[in-house]
Structure 1
Amino acid sequence: MPASVSSASSASAATSGALLRLRDETFDPGNLGAYNLYLLASPTRLQLAAVDVERHKFVLLEEYPLAAGGLDALAAQHDCLGQRGWNAVRLAVTGRGFTLLPAPLFRPGDEEAALRLHHAPSPTETVRHTTHPGLELVNVFAADARQADWLTATHGASGRLLHHTSALLAGLVHQRGAAAPRRLYLNPGPQELTLVVLGQHLEYCNVFSCTTAEDVVYYTILVMQELHLDPDQDEVTVWGELMPDSAIFSLLRTYVRNVRFGPRPGNVQYSYRLNDVFEYRYFDLFSLHFC
């Protein structure tokens, strides 16, 4: 369920079709070079955030439905999404079409061969990769070719395409610190559930198709059993699109004793406008700041 929109932006949100539109009064669309733009695209929605580079402060958070025209059509109607001149632009895409490889085993040019072991790219998809130096991993993933082309055509060298698991992992590594215990992390999204087990090293990362609360609990318990985690002892941290009184969270607490919502990424500031949003939401979007 989308968070409530502040009264200052309600009228604008209503006329633009936004699901959420929160902007700090200091955000200046006429000076885009002062900001990084972060985008998270699912098949039906686009989330975007902007951070003031000098102040390390998020000053914009918005969410829109993606209609038939997709990202191109939304950018054409938005006041700054399609404008050039941002300091940096990072676009993360969701989906199950990805694989993580040890960096020493990866050779540029092998992306499609590596991905085909897990996912057969469609004619409308392009295959890309991004690196995780801190984890010594390479993420090979499929992305909508139109979105990739839009990013290149609109933002050129300032644009970077990633899979959303790269953002999630970057945020977790940044959040945890070196001595953090082995733990399971959940990030439910639109029709998907991302699960990560992270200890001293990454042990597990996968995205499942989920449509019900029972699906979420099933895959959570399955992964805990396979990774020898104890639902009665080990803590599970949840981010993403849940409400505290949601059926998913209630059912999770029935089967997992220690479930808690995670905080926003630290070492960065957030405009007071974002106080309208639960802190555990948009974690992977905000974590693009650490990619």
Structure 2
Amino acid sequence: MSASSASAASASAVNASLRLRDETFDTTALGAYNLYLLASPTRLQLAVADVERNKFVALEEHPLPTGGLPALAAQHDCLGQRGWNAVRLAITGRAFTLLPAPLFRAGDEEATLRLHHFLTPFETVRHTAHPGLELVNVFAADAALASWLSTTHGASGRLLHHTSALLAGLVHQRGAASPRRLYLNPGPQELTLVVLGQSLEYCNVFPCSTAEDVVYYTILVMQELGLNPDEDEVTVWGELTPDSAIFSLLRTYVRQVRFGPRPGNVQYSYRLNDVFEYRYFDLFSLHFA
């Protein structure tokens, strides 16, 4: 390893709040791996999957410095390197809308999104198709971030909204005869709620800063969609622990609450064993998006 590479790796390790890597992960052979990224305004989650072995071999979490993801990539040993088999970058945020695929027309993205979000001069609009659900996700993205992805990773890079990753993971996880169910995914200052039956019935992202916010929106959606807090099961992934205030309060008002597992049909390095299995579900679900 060169002095500059060693310096970059050292900086990456110092800045990471989580850095787990399997010893088989070879940063000199990036073409053997897919890179999955989940970006919020303040941090980046990163996962690497070995394509041939269908196995996650790295998981990292980094606070974003001034300058955001491009600035972090400049310090990281492989984030900004070209040559990955595929790169998928999902962004958080409430500026998205889901349309039935037959109603979507290319070129109408901005007009569609304008029904509840006006683009700023620093944003661009993108869309992602969900063939399994016959939906199209139209969303706003930071223009500089989209430009970085295109410039750095070219045709191998794909930009998505994090709800697309979450939905892909849920569809992959559920069987054909799965019951109608509510899914929660708390994140940084946000809560994503999804109701899936034979088709997608509901998907929205709410601003949340307290455990009470999470419970309020959960009960609100259950009431609106005719779900029973005493009987219907609620599955939770995301940013909480079994002894957290959120989970404790949820169990007070919703009787059948359980944590969800990681996406199946893919392997995980033993290095990830110390991470709760319900964490990073939307990040890992980029494998199926």
TM over 0.5: yes
Q: CA separation in 1, counterparts of 2:14 and 2:133?
A: 40
Q: Does 1:289 align with 2:287?
A: yes
Deviations 1:13-40 (A, max 9, x none): 8852101000000000000000000000
The aligned counterpart of 1:126 is 124
Q: Secondary structure at the match of 2:262?
A: coil
The structure 2 residue matched to 1:181, chosen from 179, 182, 194, is 179
Equivalent residue in structure 1 for 2:88, among 87, 90, 93 = 90
1:187-226 maps to which residues of 2 (within 5 A)?
A: 187-226=185-224
Change (3 A) 1:224 1:80: same
User: Structure 1 residues 66 and 14, CA, compared in 2 at 3 Å: closer, same or farther?
Assistant: closer
Aligned mates of 1:130, 1:184 — CA distance in 2: 23
2:244 is aligned, of 241, 246, 261, to 246
Shift of the 15–267 alpha-carbon distance from structure 1 to 2, 3 Å rule, reads closer
Calculate percent identity across the aligned residue pairs: 86
Deviation digits for residues 67-100 of structure 1 (CA, Å, limit 9, x no counterpart) = 2110111000000000000000000000000000
Matched AA of 2:181: R
AA aligned opposite 1:96: R
CA distance in 2, matches of 1:38, 1:217: 30
Name which of 266, 269, 272 aligns with 2:267: 269
In the TM superposition, 1:152-171 aligns within 5 A as 152-171=150-169
Q: Return the letter of the residue paired with 1:136.
A: E
What secondary structure sits across from 1:279 in the alignment?
coil
Task: Give 3-state SS (helix, strand or coil) of 1:248's partner.
Answer: helix
Contact 1:57 1:268 in 2 (8 A): yes
Q: Which residue of 2 aligns with 1:79?
A: 77
Unaligned runs of 5+ in 2: 1-8
**1:67 matched to 2:72:** no
The residue type paired with residue 132 of structure 1 is H
* Pairing 1:33–2:35 present: no
Q: Which residue of 1 aligns with 2:49?
A: 51
Q: Deviations over 1:109-160 (max 9, x none)?
A: 0000000102112111110000000000000000111110000000000000
Change (3 A) 1:279 1:12: farther
After the TM superposition, list the runs of 4 or more consecutive aligned residues in structure 1 that deviate by more than 6 angstroms: none
Question: Retained in 1: the 8 A contact 2:262–2:278?
Answer: yes
User: Distance in 2 between the 1:87 and 1:235 partners?
Assistant: 38
Q: Give TM-score, length-normalised by structure 1.
A: 0.95
> What corresponds to 2:233 in structure 1?
235
> Residue type matched to 1:272 in 2?
Y
Structure-2 residue corresponding to 1:255? 253
Q: How many Å separate the matches in 2 of 1:232 and 1:59?
A: 40
Code of the residue aligned with 2:155 in structure 1: it is A
**CA shift in 2, pair 1:69/1:179, >3 Å:** same
Give the TM-score of the pair, scaled to structure 2.
0.96
Look up the equivalent residue of 2:174 and give its one-letter code.
R
Inter-CA distance 55–287: structure 2 relative to 1 (3 Å threshold)? same
SS at match of 1:237: strand
Asked if the contact 1:75–1:81 (Cα under 8 Å) also holds between the matched residues in 2, the reply is yes
CA distance in 1, matches of 2:70, 2:136: 28
Distance 1:284 1:71 in 2: 19
Task: Assess, with a 3 A threshold, how the Cα gap between structure 1 residues 14 and 51 changes in structure 2: closer, same or farther.
Answer: closer
1:162-188 Cα deviation digits (max 9, x unpaired) = 000000000000001111000000000
- Please list every run of 5 or more consecutive structure 1 residues that lacks an aligned counterpart in the other structure: 1-10
Map 1:99-118 to 2 at 5 A: 99-118=97-116
Distance in 1 separating the partners of 2:30 and 2:270: 21
Cα separation, 1, equivalents of 2:190 and 2:135: 23
Distance 2:218 2:13 in 1: 40
